[in-house]
């Protein structure tokens, strides 16, 4: 027997407690594969470039384009681009929550275009979390790309920003992301 469920400001809706939950997308395996491959590439690039920075920038910065692009080794105990310094534990927990949310939430998506942007965010979060847990940086993240007009950052930070902007654009263009014809 269906029961009525009211929501704020809306008419009651019939809810069938015996109805099965919506089945996962038939494209779920492909979505997860794309997401995980994107994340793996980001983590590999991020960790590889951070290791290069640690190996080659200990003696000082290297100017690639004078006044525009410099590689300079720094450690960031805050979030992306130096936000909220001194809270590495908070950012580690926030990263774990976001990673879990992405992996669980992907089951509800049907549009494969979401996999790459979410993979960028996932890979960037994991790349920075690896620094906080594995590297001897006191919970900080290795940053090394200095544009002189922006806080020093790394590949993980770039991936997170590009992923979030892509998600915002995709969400704006498709509505909620579940319908590829949006």
Mark whether 143 is an active-site residue: yes
Give me the catalytic one of 111, 131, 146, 157: 157
Mark whether 146 is an active-site residue: no
Contact criterion met (CB below 8 Å) for 166 and 56? no
DSSP 21: P
Give me the catalytic one of 46, 111, 131, 143: 143
> What is the enclosing helix (H) or strand (E) of 99?
helix 88-105
Contact criterion met (CB below 8 Å) for 114 and 170? yes
With a CB cutoff of 8 Å and minimum separation 6, the contacts of 174 are 111, 113, 180, 182
User: Largest Cα–Cα distance of the chain, in whole Å?
Assistant: 73
Catalytic residues: 143, 157
């Amino acid at each position: 027997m269906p029961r009525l469920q009211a929501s704020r400001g809306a008419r009651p809706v019939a809810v069938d407690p015996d109805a099965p939950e919506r089945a996962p997308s038939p494209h779920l395996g492909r979505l997860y594969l794309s997401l995980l491959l994107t994340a793996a590439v980001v983590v590999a690039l991020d960790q590889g470039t951070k290791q290069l920075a640690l190996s080659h920038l200990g003696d000082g910065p290297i100017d690639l384009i004078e006044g525009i692009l410099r590689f300079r080794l720094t450690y960031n105990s805050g979030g992306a681009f130096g936000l909220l310094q001194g809270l590495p534990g908070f950012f580690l927990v926030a990263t774990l929550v976001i990673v879990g949310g992405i992996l669980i939430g992907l089951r509800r998506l049907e549009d494969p275009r979401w996999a790459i942007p979410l993979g960028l965010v996932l890979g960037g979060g994991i790349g920075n979390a690896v620094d906080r847990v594995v590297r001897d940086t006191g919970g900080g993240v290795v940053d090394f790309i200095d544009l002189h007009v922006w806080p020093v950052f790394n590949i993980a930070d770039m991936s997170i920003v590009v992923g979030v902007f892509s998600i915002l654009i995709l969400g704006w263009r498709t509505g909620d992301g579940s319908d590829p014809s949006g």
